[in-house]
Structure 1
């Protein structure tokens, strides 16, 4: 008996069907059967299914003699299912890699619940991906099983059949079947969830929900949308036969009203001539099923009135929205004028020579090089007033006590940026910030450059997607000083950003803590045993994939192959922290303590300090980590694709900081054999450190403060000259 019976109904999807079938058949978990139902499709679906069945014994094909519709096609597959769980997969959607393994593991962990609900992501025809906006419901559900009564918010998720698996015995015991018509998922999902005694949640994206350019069947204009009334009649009939579910009637009554009004409000659902009839039928259904004493308020209250009243309310609402839009435009225009006047007023005042404005990673808080410079300034030059720019009140709330801050775009922001003598940032300031004569902009960067940046992206159209390179260079024209940690960085920045700044060989302030042997509580906070070897996997984003994320390693397998006494810590690229990448398995693996997800850690230093070895690909984190003189492994299994799409300034596989693997098998062998920390690894690392940690001596932040903020010469610095200072062997800059 297989673990899963995957039932795939097919009708006019020949262009998408192979991708759907491949996503199932190529899963790492193979204990399943695939039952494909050809719903008398007029295109090539039937032939495609037969070809797959001939190649793979796990595929069974049913050819229906006439078109039955989606719900009844699913029903046709159920009697042929022998698996423990039923999985209804639409034939234009796909499973994500590793989905069945994750679902199977969660079912085992929760001791075979009646229903398991998992997450999905919408994938758009133009390449975009957006995670389910209610994913937090699955995360908050935790590891224990529950009922709909215990967690009613589970019913707020999209009412579809394909974001769940169902215990086949539970389905058979209750006689659940799909009705004919549109919206067939509604009278399946509500009865199933309300009847389930044990529901489990999986906070992982297991399915890609394809958003076709022409829309789904439910987006077409048709009278078939009237089927929604019959489907809710079935839901109410089901509840009516079960007294123990009577308490759900008020919820379902409101849900039905909201669902029908949503259909009515869509401009492309119903023929205009049929909208009045749809409203009247909805209102009649709403009145007939209204529970005694139930309160009707909010949007659904309109169903207590007439079609004329509904139309008048809609027209009034549209007029109100239009008036609000115009008023909002006027307020914004007035706000722009007021802010411009406020900024202009303060721009007439002299610069404050003691005011330093800081920002990091697009106003994300006290992190990176700017944070290190700020800390050094508070110690070395307490007369300087440091003000941080943050993006919103939530970010401001996360700042340490006593840190002065302003929110970007606010009046106080305009005031301090108009008066500040110094600006410290690791990315460009917004284009609206005007650089006053006499002010000094210090650009720290975020890492030693390995991949193409700035003007070098002009011949890499894939890598510069979303980037306006000329605008980027115009903003870089405001730089006065560019901090560098090595001569390689100096040459690259001056080539990639052909602007009038001075390169300053200070080292990277953020790396002072690494060079000086700093400590942190990362291990303790994450419950990592003191005697464990911590392996940090820190890949960069991929420019040949619009989402930026590609699973290069099976993390669960890697963690298992490392064996006892090892902890795998994963830190994705910061740009992926709030997207769907973590939902593709990392979050769930972290919950189950298979790996530790460090992507959300605000700063990298504590993570690096906790790691005994770094595994990366083309991430600049390797240049920082090299300061710790600990082993580094470069996993470059897609180097040709990466270099072709993004471009790199050096071949990191030819000049590596340690051993290089080009396949997972090679990577696993490096750790199995212990070669990751052998003499050759140490030799390569020493050469790498000599070249790329050249100016990192643990005093970079102090050097920036003394030399660039206070104008003092710095002992033991590189022999160069900063404009405005006399040439001397203890200055820092290179022009």
Structure 2
């Protein structure tokens, strides 16, 4: 018999702008062991791809129902709508950027079946963007060995200390409806449900286990962590809570004193936080806090707390905002004296040291920063100033066509790199005064990696981060969990500083959007436009392809295999996973292999070490344009390189995956989906299997073609030859793209 056989549960999930997190939430909730589960997702007019992702999950799992709203209703109203649609015995309101720990759902069903509570309280952990995980500070309340399995609130008043979230309590639906409990509009909408369900419950139970992973996102996590006048909503929420106590009559009296202290604890925290109440509204907030203090402090039986908290109570009671503010200033001063001054001194010393290195150049840069921004000047760079390439090059070319008034200048490492630039491309050498002047004065910045950390982002400057690949592997701040990939010393704070300079970030497909949302948290605008560098695939002619093959030395009539492996963090240097000499001999004279090593490596003397047959393996690693190599080849052979997502646009050309170390790569680098389960073609794990795939024709077979078509549908939907134009029109011309409909 199923654990859930005689209990049904409805989970309500409001959804808005959580595309990078929604998949994990849904996967954690839709446990296959729980057939008596109803999940209602309310797409609260989310402007991203959340609606499509919800529909995809609903097609696969009939337990999920999706309601799409045309206008944003807010978290409270979305939950109320989900409640009206619910049919389960119990209802659980979960936030769509959080997720459940493994096996949580069966355990919740079991606890409900065993205790039949009105309310089941759940423990949680805060999961931070930087990898830290902190158990809730109230976890001791769940682990009390003397606590009964079922009780009433008056037996354990300390449970009011459990933070009043909707997602840390499962509520009997009929009980909630009978007491008329609904979520309210505005901020802090959880509280008028979270507290009253405890007041009214005859049966409360607890589950001593971390069930919810409560994400602490760097950006966009909680609207209550933003400066807004809507923080004044908190007063109406507490009026609602005390109004419920009034309706309970004598039943509610034992809770008044404890609820009053919880209210004051909360209001004082909101008032103290710099990221909550706007400065001009702080006197009003304090006055409203004083009014609630007077209205709801119990007439008898309430004891003021001691120490500083007791003093705060008295100042609030007397509505003395000025004196309270002075107290806060004095307290902050004490803290700074003991800790902050030392931190500031250390920071100032480091800043001084940085300034003294190259002092003349820094002084020149500072002077240039005081001069006006050139509204018609753009900086372009790619691969840490390695030359003219990738998405920035495509955008540069389109900008010359659509916005000729904007002068584009490239930054290159040295004069050797400059010599390889196309004719007519203006440039500066990195580290020169011309470079510093350009960085200080330009309006637009376009790069597929990051500019240096000491670059000052001026007000009015616009940064476009193009990136340079679809992220099969883990990227950005999510690399915290993979120290081998970062060398163990990656400065994630510096990374966040670079992210904060971005105004626009390009996404090549929906997977990329989902990953960027988690990996690069910031306030930039995400441009789902495809990769500009792939525009070339849609314009290349047969004549151009023939010319490229001839220039590379591909014999007429031969099949050219582009071998483009990725970097391995767990290896010290570059050695192809495939022995190219053996592969060439195994395939025969009809094939030629073009080796494109990752740009981290040099391939000098590799031909000798590998014993390449003359003219059969060509090292094209130094070729400036990967797009040329894709066009000149007939087949792509890769492992986990993002080139496969670009190459898939060449729909008549097979892609072969050589995954001989997939498990090691997953453990050391981390991936965002299982490539071996959803490949773009044939997958081989041994050299013998790889050679046989070519010899047998499986590389060009129907199964491989079908896999490639599905891969292209999933990852190439935005690539149509016009991505660079979309980038220029949005970033440089300032045009708004038409909104995509769900």
How far 1:339 moved relative to its partner? 2.0
How far apart in 1 are the matches of 2:553 and 2:563?
A: 18
| Superposed displacement of residue 582, structure 1 | 4.2
2:640 maps to which residue?
618
Choose which of 364, 371, 386 in structure 1 pairs with 2:393: 371
Q: Residue 335 of structure 1: CA displacement?
A: 7.5
Cα pair 1:363 1:390 within 8 Å, conserved: yes
* Distance in 2 (alpha carbons) for counterparts of 1:676 and 1:335: 56
Partner of residue 473, structure 2: 451
Confirm or deny: 8 A CA contact 2:679 2:708 kept in the other structure.
Answer: yes
Q: Which residue number corresponds to residue 502 of structure 1?
A: 525
Q: Say if 1:587 and 1:393 are closer, same or farther in 2 by CA, change over 3 A.
A: farther
**Superposed CA offset, 1:107-154 (max 9, x none):** xxxxxxxxxxxxxxxxxxxxxxxxxxxxxxxxxxxxxxxxxxxxxxxx
The partner residue of 2:455 within 433, 457, 464 is 433
Which of 381-390 and 549-558 deviates more? Answer: 549-558
Structure 2 unmatched runs, 5+ = 1-353
Regions of 4+ moved over 4 Å:
332-335, 586-591
User: Distance in 2 between the 1:644 and 1:586 partners?
Assistant: 32
Counterpart of 2:579 in structure 1 is 554
* Number of aligned residues: 386
1:436 Cα offset (Å)? 0.5
Are residues 1:380 and 2:402 paired? yes
Gaps of 5+ in 1: 1-331, 721-728
Contact 2:581 2:610 in 1 (8 A): no
Are 2:542 and 1:542 equivalent residues in the alignment? no
TM-score, reference length from structure 2: 0.50
> Which residue number in structure 1 is paired with residue 617 of structure 2?
595
Alpha-carbon deviation of 1:494?
1.6
Whole-Å separation in 1 of the counterparts to 2:433 and 2:523: 30
Match of 1:183 in 2: none
Q: Does the 8 A contact of 1:357 with 1:420 survive in 2?
A: yes
- Structure 1 residue 333: deviation in Å? 7.6
How much does 1:357 deviate?
0.4
Show CA shifts across 1:554-593 (max 9, x none): 11111111112211111111111x3xx5434368756832
Bigger Cα displacement from structure 2, 592-601 vs 332-341: 332-341
Q: Distance in 1 between matches of 2:717 and 2:443?
A: 30
Q: 1:392 aligns with which of 414, 435, 453?
A: 414
The residue aligned with 1:272 is none
CA distance, structure 1, for counterparts of residue 430 and residue 517 of structure 2: 29
Give the corresponding residue for 1:489: 512
1:409 and 1:506 map into 2 onto residues whose CA distance is 33
Deviation sequence 1:74-102 (CA, Å, 0-9, x none): xxxxxxxxxxxxxxxxxxxxxxxxxxxxx
Are residues 1:687 and 2:710 paired? yes
Aligned partners of 1:590 and 1:508: how far apart in 2? 34
Cα shift at 1:508: 0.3
How far apart, in 2, do the equivalents of 1:697 and 1:622 lie?
17
Q: Distance in 2 between matches of 1:679 and 1:622?
A: 19
Cα distance in 2 for partners of 1:468, 1:532 equals 47
TM superposition score normalised by structure 1: 0.51
Give how far 1:367 is off. 0.6
Relative to structure 1, the CA distance from residue 535 to residue 586 in structure 2 (aligned partners, 3 Å threshold; closer, same or farther) is farther
Matches within 5 A, 1:680-719: 680-714=703-737, 719=739
1:552–1:586 Cα change, 3 Å:
farther
Residue deviations 1:507-558 (CA, integer Å, cap 9, x gap): 10100001333535331113212311111111111111132x3431111111
1:100-115 maps to which residues of 2 (within 5 A)? none
Pairing 1:63-212 to 2, within 5 Å after superposition: none
Paired position in structure 1 for 2:430: 408
Measure, in 2, the Cα distance between the counterparts of 1:545 and 1:597: 21
| 2:554 corresponds to 1:528 | yes
1:574 pairs with 2:596: no
* Cα distance between partner residues in 1 of 2:577 and 2:548: 25
Take 1:503 and 1:597, find their aligned partners in 2: how far apart are those partners?
37
Deviations 1:673-726 (A, max 9, x none): 001011111110111001111211100111111121111245xx5x26xxxxxx
| 1:653-672 → structure 2 map (5 Å cutoff) | 653-672=676-695
Three-state SS of the structure 2 residue aligned to 1:623 is helix
SS at match of 1:585: helix
Q: 1:456 to 1:333 in 2, by over 3 A?
A: closer
Residue 351 (structure 1) shift:
1.5
> Residues 584 and 613 of structure 2 are in contact (CA less than 8 Å); yes or no, is this contact kept in structure 1?
no
